[in-house]
């Protein structure tokens, strides 16, 4: 294929991505330097909480070789529809939530996905360009650990990315890697919506003592040092872990949990506007009256509404 033809196809796909993303209010990349700190857990719980608040939400799982979103949402048997063989339709585990993951295309859950970076990039761009996401308030993009192919592809393909949420545990090794995620966001000119300190202490179910398994406060301290917003601490909880393993909506759980309260509070901050440290687009900063789902009927002249009206 001639170089110019390849370039044309690339440009066409970029335009298609742009068109799809223009219909989505806020596009947020959830990232961390280290694996196992809770990115996917945070993604699915924020998504469910946002849907409970009346938002429409999409989740794009860009953890190509370790896709866990579907399992945590209990929809791993879902199939991506494609009646015309080109456009892909997301799995909808509940009203208001659309999910796309490579897990839906793999029959055998034990089969390893052995893909080089270029193949991962192709898949992610295809998910952005060919999926009929429709109009959404949020697209939450879960990612594997690190600052590699997947994160680069997302940041470079979505020009209107709202920003990144960085997840870390309080322990120094995780924080060290989270600092790199901060640096990555800044280098790429992405707004940092904030940092979540997950697995921040464990309250003993027997005696109520707080056990600092991974320490406490490391993520918050990093935020002060690096001048990035701190979104909150989510403690470790057995019920949260069990809910994720069994695909149950933890946010719907009637019992009061410190981790659930913390996730709700973080969700409120994100939905109602939060400060960004460096930004390509801070226009989503809003008030409680200014949630993106209200944009369509809102008469204010905020940039978010203007963008959605385009």
Ligand X SMILES: Nc1ncnc2c1ncn2[C@@H]1O[C@H](COP(=O)(O)OP(=O)(O)O)[C@@H](O)[C@H]1O
- Determine, following the binding rule CB under 5 A, whether residue 32 of this chain makes contact with Mg ion: no
- Determine, following the binding rule CB under 5 A, whether residue 40 of this chain makes contact with Mg ion: yes
Contact call for residues 263 and 234 (beta carbons, < 8 A): yes
Partner from Mg ion, ligand X, none binding residue 137, C-beta < 5-8 Å depending on class = none
Is the backbone of residue 131 left (phi > 0), alpha (psi -120 to 50) or beta? Answer: beta
Partner from ligand X, Mg ion, none binding residue 38, C-beta < 5-8 Å depending on class = ligand X
Q: Residue 78 CA to chain centroid, in angstroms?
A: 20
Helix or strand or coil: residue 51? Answer: helix
* Selected range binding ligand X among 15-23, 50-58, 77-85, 231-239, rule: CB under 6 A: 231-239
Provide, rounded to whole angstroms, the least separation between the CB of residue 195 and Mg ion: 17
| Dist CA 213 CA 236 (whole Å) | 9
Contacts with Mg ion in 63-82 (CB under 5 A)?
68
| Dist CA 19 CA 144 (whole Å) | 26
Contacts with ligand X in 110-129 (CB under 6 A)?
none
Q: How many of the chain's residues bind ligand X (CB under 6 A)?
A: 18
* Selected range binding Mg ion among 33-41, 130-138, 146-154, 266-274, rule: CB under 5 A: 33-41
| Dist CA 162 CA 304 (whole Å) | 11
Residue nearest Mg ion by beta-carbon distance: 40
- Determine, following the binding rule CB under 6 A, whether residue 39 of this chain makes contact with ligand X: yes
- Determine, following the binding rule CB under 6 A, whether residue 199 of this chain makes contact with ligand X: yes
Partner from Mg ion, ligand X, none binding residue 241, C-beta < 5-8 Å depending on class = ligand X
- Determine, following the binding rule CB under 6 A, whether residue 41 of this chain makes contact with ligand X: yes
Distance of CA 236 to CAs 41, 232, 248, Å? 12, 13, 17
| Dist CA 72 CA 64 (whole Å) | 15
Q: Which is nearer to ligand X, 72 or 129 (CB)?
A: 72
- Determine, following the binding rule CB under 5 A, whether residue 308 of this chain makes contact with Mg ion: no
Quote the radius of gyration of the chain (alpha carbons, Å). Answer: 19
Choice from 12, 35, 148, 183 touching ligand X (CB under 6 A): 35
- Residue 43: CB atoms within 10 A of its CB come to 26
- Determine, following the binding rule CB under 6 A, whether residue 237 of this chain makes contact with ligand X: yes
Q: Which residues neighbour 67 within 8 Å (Cβ) at sequence distance 6 or greater?
A: 61, 101, 102, 103, 113
Q: Which is nearer to Mg ion, 20 or 39 (CB)?
A: 39
Nearest C-alpha neighbor of 28 from the set 65, 1, 55: 55
Partner from Mg ion, ligand X, none binding residue 234, C-beta < 5-8 Å depending on class = ligand X
- Determine, following the binding rule CB under 6 A, whether residue 234 of this chain makes contact with ligand X: yes
Choice from 236, 266, 290, 295 touching ligand X (CB under 6 A): 236
Helix or strand or coil: residue 223? Answer: helix
- Determine, following the binding rule CB under 5 A, whether residue 43 of this chain makes contact with Mg ion: no
Q: Residue 195 CA to chain centroid, in angstroms?
A: 12
- Chain residues that interact with ligand X, rule: CB under 6 A: 32, 35-41, 68, 198-199, 234, 236-237, 240-241, 244, 259
- Chain residues that interact with Mg ion, rule: CB under 5 A: 39-40, 68
């Amino acid at each position: 294929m001639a170089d110019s033809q390849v370039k044309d196809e690339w440009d066409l796909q970029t335009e298609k991505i742009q068109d799809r993303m223009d219909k989505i209010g806020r596009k947020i990349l959830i990232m961390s330097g280290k694996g196992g700190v809770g990115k996917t857990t945070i993604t699915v719980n924020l998504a469910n909480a946002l849907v409970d608040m009346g938002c429409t939400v999409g989740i794009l799982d860009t953890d190509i070789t370790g896709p866990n979103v579907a399992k945590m949402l209990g929809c791993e048997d879902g199939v991506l529809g494609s009646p015309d063989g080109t456009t892909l339709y997301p799995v909808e585990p509940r009203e208001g939530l659309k999910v796309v993951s490579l897990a839906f295309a793999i029959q055998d859950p034990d089969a390893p996905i052995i893909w080089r970076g270029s193949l991962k990039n192709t898949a992610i761009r295809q998910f952005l360009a060919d999926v009929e996401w429709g109009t959404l308030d949020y697209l939450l993009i879960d990612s594997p650990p690190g600052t590699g192919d997947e994160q680069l592809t997302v940041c470079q393909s979505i020009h209107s990315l709202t920003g990144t949420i960085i997840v870390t545990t309080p322990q120094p090794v995780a924080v060290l890697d989270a600092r790199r995620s901060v640096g990555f966001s800044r280098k790429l000119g992405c707004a940092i919506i904030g940092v979540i300190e997950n697995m921040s202490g464990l309250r003993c179910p027997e005696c109520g003592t707080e056990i600092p398994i991974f320490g406490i406060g490391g993520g918050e301290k990093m935020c002060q040092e690096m001048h990035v917003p701190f979104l909150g601490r989510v403690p470790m909880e057995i019920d949260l872990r069990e809910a994720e393993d069994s695909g149950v909506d933890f946010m719907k759980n009637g019992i009061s949990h410190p981790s659930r309260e913390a996730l709700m509070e973080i969700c409120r901050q994100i939905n109602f506007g939060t400060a960004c440290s460096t930004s390509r687009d801070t226009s989503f900063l809003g008030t409680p009256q200014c949630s993106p789902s209200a944009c369509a009927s809102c008469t204010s002249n905020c940039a978010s509404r203007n963008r959605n009206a385009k």
